[in-house]
Amino acid sequence: MNECYYDKRMDFFYNKTNTDTVDEWTGPKLIVVLCFGTFFCLFIFISNSLVIAAVVKNKRFHFPFYYLLANLAAADFFAGIAYVFLMFNTGPVSKTLTVNRWFLRQGLLDTSLTASLVNLLVIAVERHMSIMRMKIHSNLTKKRVTFLIISIWAIAIFMGAVPTLGWNCLCDITACSSLAPIYSRSYLVFWSVLNLVVFFIMVVVYIRIYMYVQRKTTVLSSHTSGSISRRRTPVKLMKTVMTLLGAFVVCWTPGLVVLLLDGLNCTYCGIQNVKRWFLLLALLNSVMNPIIYSYKDDEMWGTMKRMICCSSEDKSQDRRSSRIPSTVVCRSTDTSGHYIEDGIIQGTICGKGDLGGKGNS
């Protein structure tokens, strides 16, 4: 019968697995790392809070896609919390941690990754439901979207807690990994392969949807009048989603590959030398997402900018917009589920109304 080591501190497991915890990471080097980490985390908190507030404030974002986008921002906000906790519990401090505190540190990171991944998968399903039915927005009710968001976080919390619930190496030291000295190598293989497979599935789904939208846009353009910009609204929306997915895959894939190599017990891969760089790359994903939202969506950027500036023109602009009939028509036709081309044309009319309102202010 194997002996279990629940009462040991992390230095016992680090020594058993020969894991490098960077004992020399002190003094000026530690201060620089903490300063940069603090700056990035503050940006994550502020920018993602603005995204969530923009979705709540702007009625044009009161659709399933944007609710899920706000939940993705919430996952990035949670990732910021996980990184703050990691900053003050890493380096030489790692060896002084209890097993439970180390599980909490890693569980927060795993939960944030799972929340973002599952959220992107749900957005893929929502986009598939809407685009394949020739609609800009799906007919998901607020109750269903709320249920989906609760389910996303339930799955994320469960996956983050799996090692704590028993899939660890506390009773089998020989099965411990190098990067995560109390995680079983079998769990790292399962975790990394599962995420990489979901990455691949989502990329294939989004490419298929994007190609479908382009084909339909080309067909509709020969039967309808109007400018090209009127027909490009679904394409722009898909570009935003695919940019988010692309950034997520690029930022997280290297780290998952390193975990997979560690799980496969690759002793000649030099994973200890690159693990911190790939963790930093994963952190940058939570920094990039709100930038992508604002860069790709003019309405999102406008709403965020008004909140940042606390402009006194905000209320008058809302009153001016509410008097424009085309804005009401756009929202009602989109909700009733008209076809993409109708939604595109109406969306363009609404955009003109906004520009007119801004020009008058």
pLDDT for 72: 92
Query: What b/e string do you get for 255-274 counting C-beta neighbours within 10 Å, with b at 16 or more?
Result: bbbbbbbbbeeeeeeebeee
**CA–centroid distance for 60 within its chain:** 22
pTM across the whole model: 0.77
CATH number at residue 174: 1.20.1070.10
Distance CA 49, CA 42 (A): 11
Distance CA 181, CA 183 (A): 6
Which DSSP letter does residue 136 get? S
Residue 298 within any structural domain of the chain: yes
Residues constituting the chain:
361
Q: Which residues contact 190 (CB under 8 A, 6 or more apart)?
A: none
Helices (H) and strands (E) in the chain, counts: 13, 0
The whole domain housing 203 covers 23-220+233-309
Cα separations (Å) of 130 from 65, 127, 138, 170, 353?
Answer: 10, 5, 4, 47, 25
Number of domains the chain is built from = 1
Residue 319 within any structural domain of the chain: no
pLDDT for 147: 93
Nearest to 237 by CA among 338, 340, 329: 340
Distance CA 327, CA 353 (A): 7
Residue 347 within any structural domain of the chain: no
Nearest to 109 by CA among 72, 88, 78: 78
233-263 helix and 271-296 helix, angle to the nearest 10 degrees: 170
Distance CA 200, CA 256 (A): 13
Residue 132 within any structural domain of the chain: yes
Q: Which residues contact 180 (CB under 8 A, 6 or more apart)?
A: 106, 188, 259, 262
Which DSSP letter does residue 137 get? S
pLDDT for 322: 44
CA angle 309, 313, 318 (to 5 degrees): 115
pLDDT for 89: 85
Residue 156 within any structural domain of the chain: yes
Low-confidence ranges of the chain (pLDDT < 70): 1-2, 18-27, 29-30, 133-138, 217, 220-238, 310-361
Residue 137 within any structural domain of the chain: yes
CB-CB neighbours of 30 under 10 Å: 17
The amino acid that residue 184 corresponds to is: S
Residue 3 within any structural domain of the chain: no
pLDDT in tens, 148-158: 999 999 999 99
Residue 353 within any structural domain of the chain: no
Distance CA 170, CA 182 (A): 6
**Two structure tokens written together for 199:** 């990455």
Distance CA 231, CA 84 (A): 44
